[in-house]
Chain A
Amino acid sequence: GAGVSQSPSNKVTEKGKDVELRCDPISGHTALYWYRQRLGQGLEFLIYFQGNSAPDKSGLPSDRFSAERTGESVSTLTIQRTQQEDSAVYLCASSSPGAFWGYTFGSGTRLTVV
């Protein structure tokens, strides 16, 4: 597609439930990133996929968080047993090889845990 597409745009879930957030990167972009943005704060790196290489998971805050990517396309971020502190906007970005500064962000998924 023309841009990075994220779904759902908004998600309200009950504490303890699992959620899945989806990201469709720009076609041809081999790199895909997930960031978390808490209200009024900056972007916190979560995980990075580059082609077929092992993902960089160094930013995942706990083992409740995981992400997968199918080849060089869709990625899913899963949060298990959600907690209220997981409430945030989850942003996905993609970039073409070697052009990380050309990150294109999606509009994000606003997750609210009640």
Chain B
Amino acid sequence: GQQLNQSPQSMFIQEGEDVSMNCTSSSIFNTWLWYKQDPGEGPVLLIALYKAGELTSNGRLTAQFGITRKDSFLNISASIPSDVGIYFCAGQAAGNKLTFGGGTRVLVKP
């Protein structure tokens, strides 16, 4: 089946830093989505991308839909403590179900 490879698996952030994560796939997706999950909660949609090459921002978040339709990245600028959590990419090919990446765990540097 389709698989999404998400990297890095985890990262430490320091307040004010910019961070980046990405997802790659062996197959094409029509839509890319980025979600954030806080402990004990379900994922919440951050950004949705619908066209190859599209670059979309939501506040300090920026995401791009790769032109090959097989990859996407998410950037967080000027990180703050509440950015801690798990970020998931998800892709939609045919039909309505989404395929999710393995997640990037964002932690605060001790």
Instruction: Give the interface of A toward B (CB within 8 A).
Output: 4, 31, 33, 35, 40-45, 48, 50, 56, 59, 91, 93, 95, 100-108
Contacts and interface: CB of A to CB of B under 8 A. Distances in A.
Interface of B: 4, 6, 31, 33, 40-45, 48, 88, 90, 92, 95-103, 105
Given A105-B42, A105-B43, A45 B98 contact: yes
A41 B102 contact: yes
Contact of A103 (B6, B98, B101): B98
Contact of B103 (A42, A45, A100): A42
A101 B45 contact: yes
Nearest to A110: B40
Contact of A4 (B42, B45, B90): B42
A100 B6 contact: no
A56 B97 contact: yes
Contacts of A104: 42
Contacts of A102: 45
Nearest to A97: B96
A31 B99 CA distance: 16
7 contacts: A31-B96, A41-B102, A41-B103, A43-B43, A101-B31, A105-B44, A108-B42
Contacts of B44: 105
A45 B75 CA distance: 26
Nearest to A108: B42
Given A4-B42, A105-B44, A107-B40, A100 B92 contact: yes
B97 A45 contact: yes
Contacts of B45: 101-103
B15 to A, nearest CB: 25
A106 B103 contact: no
Contact of A33 (B40, B97, B101): B97
